[in-house]
């Protein structure tokens, strides 16, 4: 095996192991189109974008919002959640968050942020991962999409 092949293979293995261990995979910040608004009718947690873009989508009654998956304790580990579950948990230090990102138990000291979210003119839900909102902004019109 040549040096370049070894480095390529070992880097890929390391990235895969880090992702499986819950370490946050780097993602380019910016808009992510996640699908038609009508496809988010099911209540609860959607985990499809955690490993690729670092967020959960959560449907809570008539609100759809995007919760950052990056633990606020170390800012590099993805918290884990299960569809149908009621908590998000950091696999490294055990911090627990409610589905809306509210801190339940430390060692983390802060809630998870929400990403800006909107519906475009084609009816597609778009999450802007370059705009992280803190809890004071969770009630703003850019923090959730109304689902009827």
DSSP calls for 71-89: -TTTSSBBPEE-TT-SEEE
CA angle at 60 for the pair 57 and 64, rounded to the nearest 5°: 45
Residue-wise pLDDT tens digits, 25-55:
445 688 999 999 999 989 999 999 999 999 9
Complete domains list, the chain, with CATH: 3-146 (2.102.10.10)
Task: State mean pLDDT over 110-139.
Answer: 95
What pLDDT, on the 0 to 100 scale, is given for residue 2? 60
What pLDDT, on the 0 to 100 scale, is given for residue 27? 59
């Amino acid at each position: 095996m040549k040096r370049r092949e070894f480095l390529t293979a070992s880097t890929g293995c390391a990235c895969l192991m880090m992702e499986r261990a819950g370490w946050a995979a780097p993602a380019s910040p910016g808009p992510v189109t996640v699908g038609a608004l009508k496809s988010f009718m099911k209540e609860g947690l959607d985990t499809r974008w955690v490993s690729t873009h670092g967020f959960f989508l959560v449907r809570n009654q008539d609100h759809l919002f995007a919760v950052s998956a990056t633990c606020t304790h170390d800012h590099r580990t993805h918290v884990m959640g299960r569809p149908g579950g009621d908590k998000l948990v950091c696999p490294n230090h055990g911090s627990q968050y409610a589905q809306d990102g509210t801190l339940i138990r430390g060692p983390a000291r802060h809630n998870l942020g929400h990403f800006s979210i909107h519906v475009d003119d084609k009816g597609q839900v778009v999450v802007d991962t370059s705009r992280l909102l803190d809890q004071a902004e969770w009630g703003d019109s850019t923090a959730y999409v109304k689902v009827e």
